[in-house]
Amino acid sequence: MKTMTDMKHWFAIALWSSLLLGCSSDEGVIPREERAALSIESAGISAQALTRTDAGYTTLASLGDAVGLYLRDDAGKYAVKNNVKYSFVAAGQPWQTATPIWLGGETAKVCAYYPCHDADPLYEDAAALPLNTQLYSHQEDVSYGIEQEVDGTSAHSTLQLKLDRAYSRLALNFKRDAASPYPGTCRLTKVELINSGIITQASLDIRTGARTAVSIPGAFVYDRPGSGLDITVPPYASASDIIKSDDDEAITVNRNRSILMIPCTLNSTTINGINYGLTVRLTIDGKPMTVDIPYADLPAFKVGTLYTMTVSIRGTELTVGGISIQNWTQQPVGGDGSEYVPL
């Protein structure tokens, strides 16, 4: 016969078991009274790589903007979350997701990147996002935010993401030199950037911001069929060469191309007592033309930095008048869909 003491004992065990079951979830052991959904209040991309200040973030606030979020913790209290898509909806509203990440009293770590490639398996691992030196594309222009700690409290469950660029950027402007006119059609079909320090493939750990070089072939070659490189550089800007950008600024079509460069330090070569770094080789009307850039003018491609180079095509040679180096900020969009850098 069970005594009152026995019944109290069994009741306590049953109550404790039910509490344990009620705390379990796919996010780990999280007490329900402490659960809070992770929220993104805002996200912005740094435009201050050269000055390295906290100011100067370009806010992401357009429909279609989306980040990929990763969550992990060292104690095993949460299930790992990889590449969860959060999308901008409207100013003043939290970013939306179809798969909320729930937080409890334990601390977790989150990191993020933009723009989101949620359907691409290459973006499943926060420790190894792919980087490729390539023609500029908004969808490939990766920015990221390293790990920060979150938990279910109101003070630590809402994120204001500050993202840093993963790439450097080289804007190439092409023009015919008026003093020594090029006599041919001036059809440009190939661009080669040559230096033994150039990295064409790398892996980015967005948890820490560390990059690991995967391929260092010594050159980047841009001549893929259908890539839009096959352009004819006009002798002057005629009415047919002009379009209007969104801010009604006149833009010359087909005279500029922009390249996402994996940050790297270039190597120098001494020629006739002068140190040179990058070599630019263009194939024009089927023939190669080359110009060597003094190493002092361009010793490296630094992350978050925009390098603007105007290449003048002369009768028998190429020249570069100088290289502009500045913080990489947003530019008006050109006729080929890339951000335009004016001549």
Both tokens of residue 85?
Answer: 């898509």
What whole-number distance in Å separates Cα of residue 138 and Cα of residue 28?
A: 37
Nearest in space to 246 (alpha carbons), one of 331, 330, 332: 332
pLDDT band at 244 (very low <50, low <70, confident <90, very high): very low
pTM: 0.82
pLDDT digits (tens, 9 = 90+) for 79-135: 999 999 999 999 999 999 999 999 998 999 999 999 999 999 999 999 999 999 999
pLDDT at 23: 37
Instruction: Give the model's pLDDT for residue 330.
Output: 59
User: What mean pLDDT value characterizes the chain?
Assistant: 82
Judged against a pLDDT cut of 90, whether residue 18 lies above it is answered with no
Residue 191 has pLDDT above 90, yes or no: yes
**What are the DSSP E strand ranges found in 210-304?**
210-215, 219-222, 231-232, 242-244, 250-252, 256-261, 264-265, 269-271, 274-284, 287-294, 300-301
> What does the alpha-carbon distance between residue 155 and residue 170 come to, in Å, rounded to a whole number?
40
- Is beta strand 168-176 parallel, antiparallel or unpaired with respect to 57-59? unpaired
- Given this model, what pLDDT does residue 236 score? 53
For β-strands 134-135 and 256-261, DSSP reports them as: antiparallel
Pairing of strands 39-46, 158-165: parallel
How far apart CA 55 and CA 59 sit, in angstroms, is 12
Please report the pLDDT score of residue 286 as a whole number: 93
The stretch 241-268 carries a mean pLDDT of 66
- What is the rounded CA–CA span in Å between residue 6 and residue 316? 102
Which domains does the chain possess? 24-126+138-165 (2.60.40.2620), 168-327 (2.60.40.2630)
Among residues 40, 262, 43, the alpha carbon closest in space to that of 166 is found at 262
pLDDT greater at residue 144 or residue 153: 144
Q: Which residues, in sequence order, are CB contacts of 107 under 8 Å at separation 6+?
A: 73, 149, 150, 151
pLDDT of residue 324: 94
Residue 67's pLDDT band, with cuts at 50, 70 and 90, is very high
Stretch (H or E) spanning 135: strand 134-135
Question: What pLDDT is recorded for position 293?
Answer: 97
- Contact assessment for residue 30 and residue 152, using Cβ atoms and an 8 Å cutoff: yes
CA-wise closest residue to 316 among 177, 189, 188: 177
Band (55; pLDDT cuts 50, 70, 90): low
Of 26 and 275, the structure prediction assigns the larger pLDDT to: 275
Position 295 pLDDT exceeds 80: yes
- Contacts of residue 248, Cβ cutoff 8 Å, sequence gap at least 6: none
Q: pLDDT above 70 covers what percent of the chain?
A: 76
- Across the range 10-14, mean pLDDT stands at 44
- Check residues 29 and 92 and name the one with the higher pLDDT: 92
- Cβ-count burial of 155 within 10 angstroms (0-12 exposed, 13-18 middle, 19+ buried)? exposed
Residue 256 pLDDT: 81
pLDDT of residue 225: 64
Type and span of the H or E element at 53: none
- Distance, first Cα to last Cα, the chain: 96
Q: Which residue has the higher pLDDT, 330 or 145?
A: 145
For residue 19, what pLDDT is reported? 39
Backbone angles phi, psi at 126, to 5 degrees: -65, -20
Joined tokens for residue 179: 């003093």
pLDDT at 14 over 70: no
More confident residue, 85 or 153: 85
